[in-house]
Amino acid sequence: MHAWETINRSLNYIEEHLSGEISTEELADAVGLSPFYFQRLFKRLVRKPVQEYVKLRRLAKVIESLKDMDRRILDVALDFGFSSHANFTRAFKETYGITPDEYRKNLPMLNTFEKPEISMNYILIDEGVPLVVGDILLEIQRRTLEKPEIYLGFETEVKISGQIPIGESTGIDVPGQLWKRYHAKKGLLAGNLGKVEMGMSYMRSFAQGLFNYFAGGLVHKMPDQMPEGFVKQELLPGKYIICRIEAENFEDLVTVNLDRANKYLFGTWLPQHNLTTEPFSVEKYFQNAEDMVYMEIWVKLLVSETGGNQK
């Protein structure tokens, strides 16, 4: 058995036992390793210490339960292995920057730590060949955009360190909050929008650890007057690498599966093909797809010094 398969077994075990006590020794024994080697291997592949990972997964799972206003916060805490209301509140605030009570008041979107699909780091697919891992299906291909696409929406500044998967910190999901704002206001553009929505990330200041995020919709007709707060963003012509992702439902698509696909594309597929891309990426969401839920990640190949695109 490969090392990653051993750790993947332990991740599955953790998911099944989040409501109870989970000791490092118990996990090591379940996969047949000494606690010493298990902890070293786990941290190397998951990039988190064992017990920190367990805590983050519990805190990711409690969010749906907290949305049920009829349930006491203490009952939610006890269901997920926290010993007291105070212990749970402290862990929640350290992780997300707000208390469970504050979360319930506004229900902001949170940037959570999802269960990684480690096997994806060790699989290299050819272009145009679908990959099925767990409940995610993805396919990578090249495409040339001949004409610019114009989008209208909102834009905000985001700290790189605070957004998984590019950073490692959890907290308020700033891009997610921007999407909520766009969906609340896009009625102001009624009659001007197509069926495609786009999220675009691009570097603002590497030195300050900041990037800009845009959330908006494809425009088939520019409005006579731009609504207050809206900005224009263009997806420029060029050669792109496209990573298409399918999922069983929209929520999984834009959270767990998007996270996994980004890690696979940027951490495994592009480096293994010796490809570099311009410092931005695009998420395209398709609203009119029938019998499937899917999106695409677009990255633009970097033009070489000789003036040609990478092959």
- Distance between CA atoms of residues 211 and 49, nearest Å: 28
Enter the tokens of residue 179: 């999407």
CB 217 within 8 A of CB 151: yes
Q: How many alpha carbons fall within 13 Å on the CB side of residue 98?
A: 16
Intervals of the chain under pLDDT 70: 1, 134, 162-169, 206, 287-293, 303-311
- Distance between CA atoms of residues 187 and 87, nearest Å: 43
- Distance between CA atoms of residues 113 and 260, nearest Å: 11
Give the pLDDT confidence score for residue 241 in this predicted structure: 96
Enter the tokens of residue 71: 């349930």
Determine the straight-line distance between the first and last CA of the chain, rounded to whole angstroms. Answer: 36
CB 84 within 8 A of CB 27: no
Give the pLDDT confidence score for residue 306 in this predicted structure: 34
- Distance between CA atoms of residues 301 and 16, nearest Å: 41
Give the pLDDT confidence score for residue 292 in this predicted structure: 60
Nearest to 51 by CA among 80, 10, 22, 91: 22
Give the pLDDT confidence score for residue 200 in this predicted structure: 95
- Is the bond leading into 165 cis (omega within 30 degrees of zero)? yes
Residues 6+ apart with CB under 8 A from 292: 246
β-strands 110-111, 280-286: how paired? Answer: unpaired
Summarised one tens digit per residue, pLDDT across range 238-290 is 999 999 998 777 777 777 788 888 888 998 899 999 999 998 999 999 865 55
For the entire predicted model, the pTM comes to: 0.79
Give the pLDDT confidence score for residue 90 in this predicted structure: 94
Summarised one tens digit per residue, pLDDT across range 143-166 is 999 999 999 999 999 887 766 555
Hey, is 166 helix, strand or coil?
Answer: coil
- Distance between CA atoms of residues 229 and 185, nearest Å: 10
Hey, is 276 helix, strand or coil?
Answer: coil
Nearest to 15 by CA among 93, 114, 120, 125: 114
CB 37 within 8 A of CB 45: no
- Determine if residue 162 is left, alpha or beta; phi over 0 gives left, psi from -120 to 50 gives alpha, anything else beta: alpha
